[in-house]
Amino acid sequence: MTTKDTIKQQIKQVLIKKYQLPNFEFAVNYPPSSTMGDYSVNVAMLLAKDLKKNPFELAKELAQELAIQKMWQKVVALEPGFINFYLAEKKLQENLKNILKEKEKFGNLKNVEKKKIMLEFISANPTGPLTLANGRGGFTGDVLANVLTLAGNKVEREYYVNDVGNQIKVLGHSVLKDEQAQYKGEYIDELKKEIKAIDPKQVGKEAAQIILKKYIQPVIKKAGIKFDKYFLESELHEGGSVEKMLTVLKKKDLVYEKDGAVWLKTTDKKSADDKDRVLIKSDGSKTYFLADIAYHFNKLHDRKFDEVINLWGADHHGYVARMKQAVALLGYPGQLEVLLMQMVRLIKDGQEFKMSKRAGVYVTLEELVDMVGLDVTRFFFLMHSNNKTMDFDLNLASEKSSKNPVFYVQYAHARICSILNKASDLEVSNVKIKDNLHLAERELLTALIKWPEIVEEVAENYEVHKICFYAIALSDKFHDFYENCRVIDENNLVNEFRLNLIQATWQTLKNVLKTLGVSAPEKM
Partner RNA sequence: GCCCUCGUAGUUCAAUGGAUAGAACACCAGCCUUCUAAGCUGGUCAUGUAGGUUCGAUUCCUACCGAGGGUACCA
Interactions with RNA, residue window 112-171 (CB under 7 A): 125, 162, 165-167
Tell me: does residue 74 bind RNA (CB under 7 A).
Answer: no
Question: Within 94-113, which residues bind RNA (CB under 7 A)?
Answer: none
Give the nearest distance from C-beta 172 to RNA in angstroms. Answer: 15
Tell me: does residue 506 bind RNA (CB under 7 A).
Answer: no
Q: Which stretch binds RNA (CB under 7 A): 98-106, 209-217, 303-311, 487-495?
A: 487-495
Contact pick of 17, 269, 301, 317 for RNA (by CB under 7 A): 317
Residue nearer to RNA on the CB measure, 195 or 321 = 321
Contact between 516 and 143 (Cβ < 8 Å): yes
Residue nearer to RNA on the CB measure, 155 or 494 = 494
Q: Which stretch binds RNA (CB under 7 A): 151-159, 173-181, 341-349, 445-453?
A: 341-349
Sheet holding 307-313, edge to edge: 229-232, 154-161, 116-120, 307-313, 336-341
Question: Within 242-281, which residues bind RNA (CB under 7 A)?
Answer: 258-261, 278, 281
How many whole angstroms from its chain centre is CA 50?
Answer: 38
Give the nearest distance from C-beta 228 to RNA in angstroms. Answer: 22
Residue nearer to RNA on the CB measure, 9 or 282 = 282
Q: Which stretch binds RNA (CB under 7 A): 111-119, 240-248, 285-293, 302-310?
A: 285-293
Alpha-helical runs (H) found in 157-199: 166-176, 186-194
Q: How many CB atoms lie within 10 A of CB 340?
A: 17
Task: Please classify residue 491 by burial: count the beta carbons closer than 10 Å to its beta carbon, then call 0-12 exposed, 13-18 middle and 19+ buried.
Answer: exposed
Give the nearest distance from C-beta 426 to RNA in angstroms. Answer: 10
What is the rounded CA–CA span in Å between residue 215 and residue 114? 36
Contact pick of 355, 463, 496, 514 for RNA (by CB under 7 A): 463
Q: Which stretch binds RNA (CB under 7 A): 132-140, 178-186, 197-205, 478-486?
A: 478-486
Question: Within 359-378, which residues bind RNA (CB under 7 A)?
Answer: none
What is the rounded CA–CA span in Å between residue 212 and residue 232? 11
Q: Which stretch binds RNA (CB under 7 A): 31-39, 189-197, 295-303, 331-339?
A: 31-39
DSSP letter at 342? P
Contact between 30 and 40 (Cβ < 8 Å): yes
Question: Within 186-245, which residues bind RNA (CB under 7 A)?
Answer: none
Residue nearer to RNA on the CB measure, 155 or 419 = 419
Tell me: does residue 350 bind RNA (CB under 7 A).
Answer: no
Give the nearest distance from C-beta 167 to RNA in angstroms. Answer: 6
Q: Which stretch binds RNA (CB under 7 A): 2-10, 32-40, 129-137, 149-157?
A: 32-40
Determine the size of the site formed for RNA (CB under 7 A).
Answer: 85
Distant-in-sequence, close-in-space partners of 164: CB < 8 Å, separation ≥ 6: 205, 233, 234, 237, 291
Give the nearest distance from C-beta 402 to RNA in angstroms. Answer: 6
Residue nearer to RNA on the CB measure, 136 or 155 = 136
Residue nearer to RNA on the CB measure, 364 or 401 = 401
Burial 231-247 (b: 16+ CB within 10 A, else e): bbbbebbeeebbeebbe
Give the nearest distance from C-beta 291 to RNA in angstroms. Answer: 8
What is the rounded CA–CA span in Å between residue 462 and residue 454? 11
From residue 128, alpha-carbon distances to 214, 343, 386 in Å are 10, 18, 24
Coil, strand or helix at 464 = coil
Contact pick of 24, 230, 289, 497 for RNA (by CB under 7 A): 289
Residue nearer to RNA on the CB measure, 247 or 387 = 387
Contact pick of 24, 230, 353, 411 for RNA (by CB under 7 A): 411
Tell me: does residue 34 bind RNA (CB under 7 A).
Answer: no
Sign of the C-alpha dihedral, residues 470, 471, 472, 474?
A: positive
What is the rounded CA–CA span in Å between residue 299 and residue 287? 19
Which helix (H) or strand (E) segment holds residue 494: the answer is: strand 493-494
Give the nearest distance from C-beta 24 to RNA in angstroms. Answer: 13
Give the nearest distance from C-beta 193 to RNA in angstroms. Answer: 28
Residue nearer to RNA on the CB measure, 27 or 359 = 27
Helix, strand, coil fractions of the chain, as percent rounded to 5: 50, 15, 30
Rounded to a whole number, what is the distance in angstroms from the first to the last CA of the chain? 36
